[in-house]
């Protein structure tokens, strides 16, 4: 007899890209040179000053639990970062340190979503967002978006799709998988539309810092009551350290702290001590150099893919992704990705991982490899297109 597991666990979909990643790793183990453009993880290792701070923390014995909200010096450092980068005065008491950006999303969803209620989410969007809502017995109301709104929710879309079970909206700026931004006035309009309906605005700012030719506005510049998710994984390059943060309205902090105490006790203490080095001038200089490198990669890969026939309707302004329409080549996106890994050893992500809307005709490229590797990838993809029978 098959084991009886929960309905919520059955409702959580796997990452389709993981099957491709497993195949890519198998091919790599067999000696093939695989170019990984599928996983959203910077190819740079964690910056040396952060590693040194982590090593020093271990040597000093900082291996015990911290307070559930996180180390006070780290929360103060994050508040200082908001002051310098955005000109905002954020009380450190409003900041909770979490196990990755996922921990921040789990806290926000647990606090704001009752069973049967839902948030509005853009489709395409990051898949874990809808899965976390299902985990807390809520739901995601996926709103199809396209190039006309730069793949973002708008106040007009909120007005059109809001219903009796809606309690908020989750948006991302820069967004995964499209790399597009919400401007300050757009964030303000979303905030007004949600407040008029008694809803909450939750903004994923995990890719802040990784923008090119522009700076991303924080929703806290226009709405002090919004919930902000952020992470040390992307701009700060600390993916494996599992560290993020949540900025919440003052009235929500006590309940969020209670949830944190029960869900995970505290974020990793060694990672918190290491993250203190993120805000040092020497570290920020390294991170800005890396941001410039990501910009160069985008500026190469975007026109190169367009020249091959991929349709990328909106130029991404942030993150490190290109979301490309393959309909000019025909066929299904998952099969297309399988073809590229099997014939050319280039791994890319199918659109099915990001939602439902036109998912079978889109793929995502992550420009998290060096320029020479991206150049090689484009050559291989061009060759793979010639043998693709869509």
What's the pLDDT tens digit per position in 164-179?
999 999 999 999 999 9
Domain holding 313: CATH number? 3.90.1150.10
Domain stops at, among 225, 254, 280:
280
Residue 364's closest CA among 375, 352, 350? 350
- Indicate whether 345 and 240 sit together in one domain: no
Q: Is 61 exposed, middle or buried (0-12, 13-18, 19+ CB in 10 A)?
A: exposed
Sequence length of the chain is 390
Residue 179's closest CA among 324, 26, 52? 324
In a domain, 59, yes or no: yes
- Indicate whether 94 and 63 sit together in one domain: yes
Structural domain range at position 25: 7-45+283-384
Say what the pLDDT of residue 2 is. 57
Using CA atoms in the order 179, 184, 188, 193, what is the torsion angle rounded to 10 degrees? -30
Domain stops at, among 280, 310, 326:
280
- Residue-wise burial string across 277-292, b where 16 or more C-beta atoms lie within 10 A, e elsewhere: bbbeeebbebbeebbe
**Cα–Cα distance measured from residue 325 to residue 220, given in angstroms and rounded to the nearest whole number:** 33
**Cα–Cα distance measured from residue 375 to residue 280, given in angstroms and rounded to the nearest whole number:** 34
Domain stops at, among 280, 308, 333:
280
- Indicate whether 230 and 326 sit together in one domain: no
- Indicate whether 92 and 29 sit together in one domain: no
In a domain, 75, yes or no: yes
pTM, two decimals, is 0.96
In a domain, 1, yes or no: no
Per-residue pLDDT of the chain (390 residues; tens, 9 = 90+): 657 899 999 888 887 778 888 899 999 999 999 999 998 888 999 999 999 999 999 999 999 999 999 999 999 999 999 999 999 999 999 999 999 999 999 999 999 999 999 999 999 999 999 999 999 999 999 999 999 999 999 999 999 999 999 999 999 999 999 999 999 999 999 999 999 999 999 999 999 999 999 999 999 999 999 999 999 999 999 999 999 999 999 999 999 999 999 999 999 999 999 999 999 999 999 999 999 999 999 999 999 999 999 999 999 999 999 999 999 999 999 999 999 999 999 999 999 999 999 999 999 999 999 999 999 999 999 999 999 997
Token pair for residue 63?
């291996």
- Indicate whether 18 and 57 sit together in one domain: no
- Indicate whether 21 and 79 sit together in one domain: no
In a domain, 344, yes or no: yes
Domain holding 64: CATH number? 3.40.640.10
- Indicate whether 190 and 272 sit together in one domain: yes
- Indicate whether 107 and 203 sit together in one domain: yes
In a domain, 357, yes or no: yes
Task: Name 2's Cβ contacts closer than 8 Å, sequence gap at least 6.
Answer: none
Say what the pLDDT of residue 1 is. 61
Say what the pLDDT of residue 298 is. 98
In a domain, 125, yes or no: yes
Structural domain tally of the chain? Answer: 2
Say what the pLDDT of residue 302 is. 98
In a domain, 248, yes or no: yes
- Indicate whether 224 and 297 sit together in one domain: no
In a domain, 33, yes or no: yes
- Indicate whether 85 and 112 sit together in one domain: yes
Span 138-194, pLDDT tens digits:
999 999 999 999 999 999 999 999 999 999 999 999 999 999 999 999 999 999 999
- Indicate whether 108 and 170 sit together in one domain: yes
- Indicate whether 289 and 193 sit together in one domain: no
Say what the pLDDT of residue 12 is. 87
């Amino acid at each position: 007899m098959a084991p009886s597991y929960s309905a919520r666990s059955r409702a959580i979909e796997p990452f389709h890209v993981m099957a491709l990643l497993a195949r890519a790793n198998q091919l790599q183990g067999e000696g093939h040179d695989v170019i990984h453009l599928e996983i959203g993880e910077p190819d740079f290792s964690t910056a040396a000053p952060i590693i040194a701070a982590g090593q020093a923390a271990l040597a000093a014995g900082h291996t015990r639990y911290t307070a559930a909200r996180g180390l006070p010096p780290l929360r103060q450092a994050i508040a200082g970062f908001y002051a310098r980068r955005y000109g905002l005065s954020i009380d450190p008491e409003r900041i909770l340190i979490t196990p990755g950006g996922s921990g921040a999303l789990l806290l926000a969803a647990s606090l704001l979503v009752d069973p049967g209620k839902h948030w509005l989410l853009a489709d395409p969007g990051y898949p874990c967002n809808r899965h976390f809502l299902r985990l807390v017995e809520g739901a995601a109301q996926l709103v199809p978006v396209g190039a006309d709104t730069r793949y973002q929710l708008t106040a007009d879309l909120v007005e059109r799709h809001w219903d009796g079970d809606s309690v908020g909206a989750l948006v991302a700026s820069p967004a995964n998988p499209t790399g597009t931004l919400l401007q300050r006035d757009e964030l303000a309009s979303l905030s007004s539309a949600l407040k008029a309906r008694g809803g909450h605005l939750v903004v994923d700012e995990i890719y802040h810092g990784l923008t090119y030719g522009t700076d991303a506005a924080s929703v806290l510049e226009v709405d002090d009551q919004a919930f902000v998710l952020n992470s040390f994984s992307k701009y700060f390059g600390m993916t494996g350290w599992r560290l993020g943060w949540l900025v919440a309205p003052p009235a929500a902090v006590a309940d969020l702290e209670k949830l944190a105490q029960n869900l995970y006790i505290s974020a990793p203490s060694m990672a918190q001590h290491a993250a203190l080095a993120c805000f040092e001038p020497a570290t920020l200089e390294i991170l800005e150099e890396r941001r410039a490198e990501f910009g160069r990669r985008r500026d190469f890969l975007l026109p190169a893919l367009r020249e091959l026939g991929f349709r990328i309707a909106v130029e991404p302004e942030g993150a490190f992704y290109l979301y490309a329409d393959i309909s000019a080549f025909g066929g299904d996106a998952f099969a297309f990705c399988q073809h590229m890994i099997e014939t050319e050893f280039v791994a890319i992500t199918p659109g099915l991982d990001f939602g439902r809307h036109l998912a079978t005709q889109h793929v995502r490229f992550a420009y998290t490899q060096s320029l020479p590797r991206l150049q090689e990838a484009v050559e291989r993809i061009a060759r793979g297109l010639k043998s693709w029978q869509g």
